[in-house]
Chain A
Amino acid sequence: MNSSNVSSRTVITLIVVGVLLIAGGFIISQATPLIFPVEASAESTQIDQLFRVALLIGGAIFLLVQGVLIYSVWRFRARPGDTTDGPPIHGSTTLEIVWTAIPAVIVMVLTILSYQVWSSIQSVKEDEQLVQVTGARFNWAFTYSTPDPRDAAAELTFKSTELHIYLGRPVLLKMQTQDVIHSFWVPALRMKQDLLPGRTTEYRFTPVAVEGETYPARYPVKCAELCGAAHGEMIAWVVVHETEADYAAWFDQEVDKVLNPPADPVLRGESILASQVYPCHTCHVLSTDTLQWDGKVGPALNGVADRAATSRANATGLAAADYLYQSIHEPGAYLVPGYSNLMPQLGIPECEAWSIVAYLCTLSDSGAPTCTVELPAQCQAAGAPPVEATAEATEAPAEAAAEATPASS
């Protein structure tokens, strides 16, 4: 009789406490919009949903442990003058089984849910847009490629410092690093993946519309793996266009820059450096009307044309332009006194490298070039826009433009 009374009261207490804990956990789990950036990808919605389940359970466990703890220290505090001991209870097999089994079930459920979300977010999507990502201390570069309008068999590639994509089109990033490990993280996409020397790693996501966002929307890309002195400054931007047409407009413009570069190699070189697709600015100092670099690692570039023509030419036996070209392609071949061999192989294509050299030749104290560069013939070809190439460019500047026609209204 009495014992059945007690046990029914215990059962009611347990039910009430259980309901309160779950309700508390639920309330805690609803705080997620405050502690997350916007959900800018299909994956981020799934991950946040999973996290809310974990937060509900974690919140309930937190309230349970803190609740029991606070209740115990208040209820079972030794009263003044009480020097006796508590009852000699050594354990309870039932309780011990319960608190082994329940956590086991909880982690099993969380594992299964996580597995489902994980399989979904890393599955291959249809019609993925491929972009190559390159990480180098301390910047990001995004390489797009498209069939070359002048030669259907060839690829036309260009680099951007921003990742341009558009809503609804799944994206596949293939990522490589040129020096140390970096980690590609976009908080608004909720995912990161390391870039590992010697490997190509992948990152998949599908950008989705965010309520109240103005497009094109910009989300920061951050490096999440310690990569050196300016690790915290290794930031780029994802630019999400609202429609495929908006994206194609940007894309065509970039393709046009490749097809119709300035004919003057000096101007070409300057525009390449100004675009920051190569991370020169992160290490070198250069102060001109258009460029303001404040790197702290490598030699300053102001006056480099004078030095290339005098002391460096003497030290290496190379002509000024050849010395500058070597410094870009084999940075370790000759080290400026006082500097160590830190500059990575940047893989700058020959035409671009010679254009940069042409520009560097003009960086003398007097302003007069100390050397000049004749671009090799194949570079000249791209520089002098043939009429037919322009026509093709407007016709099929990119796969994107071609596909835009059926998709857009």
Chain B
Amino acid sequence: MASISVPIGSVPGQSAPRPRLRVSDYLRWSVDHKIIGVQYMVTAAFFFIVGGTLAMLIRLELLTPNLDVVQTGSQYNTLFSVHGLVMIFLWIIPMMAGFGNYLVPLMLGAKDMAFPWLNAFAFWLIPPAGILMVGSMLVGAPEAGWTQYPPLSTLFSGDGQTLAALSVHLLGISSILGAINFLVTVKNMRPPGMSYWQMPLFVWAIVATSIIVVMATPFLAGALTLLILDRVGGTTFFDATKGGDVLLWQNVFWFYSHPAVYIMVLPGMGILSDVLSVHSRKPIFGYKMIALSSMAIGIVGFTVWAHHMFTSLQPELRIPFMITSMIIAVPTGIKIFSWLGTLWRGKIRFTSAMLFSLGFLSMFVIGGITGVMLAMIPFNLHVHDTYFVVAHLHFVLFGGSVFAIYSGVYHWFPKITGRMLDERLGRLHFALTYIGFFFTFFPMHFAGMLGMPRRVAVYMPEYQGLNATASFGSFLLGISTFLLLYNVIASLRSGRLAGANPWRALTLEWATTSPPPATNFVGDPVLFEDPYGYGTEGASDYLDAIERRFGAPSQPVVVDKPASPAAQGASGD
């Protein structure tokens, strides 16, 4: 229980030599969770660019009301179907798994995940799944949207639909294996002195997420199996003319896919809880409520699925799902207010990581409000399957998850690579992303309410103004991505050295060198009793001790000097 809070400074002070990161280590099978974490992240980032390119083509097509960029409606349908599938299953979910893989063992002071081999196996399912997904576009239009509703997906869509379904199947397996690993790791590998209530909130979020993955993803696997059988096995599970039922798919698919929204957003909320506390130099406000609200969202999230079916479900079944969908707004609200409480009276540092977390807060709240509106059945009947929903889901998944991912990248890049990202470029990246995001997605609310359905390549000319605004916003968003990419590549070569703990954060991943040695910690990690205990003398002493023990970041003056190899030698203390 009582963990040592001060005396690490007395540990004789030579840090372990900074391990060199070699590209070749990341291209082969490895059971080191840090390498696997980076493999996840880099793979996901690659597919983010693939999905982003598809998004750019979609917005280019929608610049005008007519079909002009692509030749046929089916091609357009393929663009947004694969865009959705890639962004969800090959970008956000694996990216969050990447953060989880890299950070959870470090935050728990462990040497690795509970099942290192399984961890590697889960990752290596992703590249073949990615190839299948990209290949699906080439062999025949998978044009049924990411939701793959039959009978469009079973009786009409091209052969690509089968490949896409197989790809998602593989990704589901990967996701389940990863989640089991997280749960066992958190259960068994916490250090002595760390109770569940002393875990960083990111770890709590990963626990909640993993429970959802383990319970929900098998349903997706079941639904996909039926879909693939209908396509290639001659079965008729979803063919109403032969005794099947199209609503079967919708029920089972959403039983997974609504919880999947929380699979994508809860880890982001975990990132936010850590980043907001560290960069406003103040304990997280209402730790237990944040942790418990993650669990509440995870549980209630299983009871709301049919709010995606308010226009297809039997009318008398719609009311209970409205009630549960309304209830889930409460724990989400608790989180937002707790984060605001964290900022209040803090000492806010406008680092890039912090800016993206603040951006998350201000954009996600819009997604939350429109979410409550969508739960209201009468209003839902109007905006269901329109651009209003497209706006809502991007405010949650881009304004939420992707902003959180960006925030996490700026926050933990120094730990992963040992070098800082360029903060000035980071701020520019934030400004472009924030403005581009807002102008891309905010006008979509109006397009939807005024009468533009989603998933259309041609639309009535009266919506062109709104669509052109959205398209120009998205081009800005596209450009902003390259700023981050450039920043990452440039900083890897010549970024300022980070030291062990550039943000003076109290969680355990910072109590070792950057990047950490193969075994993560040299000797036993020394835990501070409260992961968010900022503002106390004890915390200050602990952080000073970490700095003496593992080395301080090089000073900002050095940043612009190209002579970083020289500076490299100056690490340590």
Contacts and interface: CB of A to CB of B under 8 A. Distances in A.
Nearest to B290: A91
A316 B284 CA distance: 77
Nearest to B341: A95
B269 interface: no
A114 B376 contact: yes
A232 B73 contact: yes
Contact of B340 (A68, A100, A194): A68
A46 interface: yes
A35 B240 contact: no
A71 to B, nearest CB: 9
Interface in A94-116: 95-96, 99-100, 103-104, 107-108, 110-111, 113-115
B343 A85 contact: no
Given A69-B340, A111-B322, A96 B334 contact: yes
Contact of B536 (A88, A115, A187, A196): A88
A255 B104 CA distance: 73
A87 B282 contact: yes
A142 to B, nearest CB: 19
A220 B450 CA distance: 12
B347 A47 contact: no
A288 to B, nearest CB: 24
A23 interface: no
Interface string B346-361: 1111100000001001
B74 to A, nearest CB: 4
Given A62-B369, A91-B286, A99 B151 contact: no
A334 interface: no
A232 B145 contact: no
Contact of A65 (B329, B350, B365): B365
A66 B438 CA distance: 14
B144 A197 contact: no
Contacts of B535: 85-89
A225 interface: yes
A77 B337 contact: no
Contacts of A51: 373, 376, 379
Given A35-B446, A72-B343, A226 B240 contact: no
A181 B312 contact: yes
A217 to B, nearest CB: 15
Contacts of A228: 73-74, 77, 143, 152, 156
B457 A103 contact: no
A65 to B, nearest CB: 5
A65 B330 CA distance: 15
A226 B455 contact: yes
B408 interface: no
Nearest to A195: B312
B327 interface: yes
Contact of B319 (A115, A180, A191): A115
A91 B339 CA distance: 11
B348 A122 contact: no
Interface residues on A, range: 35 or more
Interface in A306-361: 342
A233 B540 contact: no
A68 B246 CA distance: 46
Nearest to B313: A194
B372 interface: yes
A407 interface: no
Contacts of B454: 224
B241 interface: yes
Interface in B227-247: 239-241, 244-247
B492 interface: no
A364 to B, nearest CB: 30
Given A89-B282, A114-B376, A196 B381 contact: no
Interface stretch (B20-28, B113-121, B206-214, B382-390): B382-390
Interface string B471-508: 00000000000000000000000000000000000000
Contacts of B338: 91, 96
Contacts of B347: 76-78, 82, 84-86
Interface string B132-146: 000000000001110
A34 B451 CA distance: 12
Candidate in A82, A197, A223, A233 with the most chain B CB atoms within 10 angstroms: A197
Interface string A230-262: 111100000000000000000000000000000
A317 B276 CA distance: 78
A84 B283 CA distance: 13
Nearest to A78: B347
Interface in B137-167: 143-145, 149, 151-152, 155-156
Given A110-B372, A192-B385, A78 B72 contact: no
A65 B336 CA distance: 8
A96 B289 contact: yes
A371 interface: no
Nearest to B455: A226
A92 interface: yes
Given A50-B379, A185-B453, A232-B456, A76 B283 contact: no
A226 to B, nearest CB: 5
Contacts of B144: 226
A285 to B, nearest CB: 14
B453 A110 contact: no
Contacts of B312: 181, 194, 196
Contacts of A54: 372-373, 376, 379
A220 B240 CA distance: 29
B431 interface: no
A191 B382 contact: yes
A9 interface: no
A385 interface: no
Contacts of A118: 318-319, 377-378
A58 interface: yes
Given A88-B534, A96-B286, A196 B446 contact: no
B73 A230 contact: yes
A65 B339 CA distance: 10
A87 B454 CA distance: 48
Contacts of B386: 185, 224
Contacts of A86: 280-282, 345-347, 534-535
Contacts of B77: 226, 228-229, 231
B224 interface: no
Contacts of A232: 73, 453, 455-459
Given A50-B378, A78-B347, A58 B373 contact: yes
A85 B540 contact: yes
A183 interface: yes
Given A61-B369, A100-B334, A228-B73, A192 B343 contact: no
B348 A187 contact: no
A147 to B, nearest CB: 31
A216 B145 CA distance: 37
A90 B378 CA distance: 41
Interface in A190-204: 190-194, 196-199
Contacts of B373: 51, 54-55, 58
A77 to B, nearest CB: 5
B449 interface: yes
Contacts of B362: 65-66, 69
A106 B557 CA distance: 52
B326 to A, nearest CB: 4
B376 A231 contact: no
Contacts of A342: 156
A66 B340 CA distance: 10
A69 B343 contact: yes
B285 A187 contact: no
Contacts of B251: none
13 contacts: A47-B378, A65-B340, A72-B348, A73-B343, A73-B348, A76-B347, A88-B282, A91-B338, A181-B312, A192-B382, A197-B246, A225-B311, A231-B73
What are the 8 A-B residue pairs with the smallest beta carbon separation, nearest first? A198-B240, A232-B456, A229-B73, A187-B451, A86-B282, A88-B535, A197-B240, A107-B326
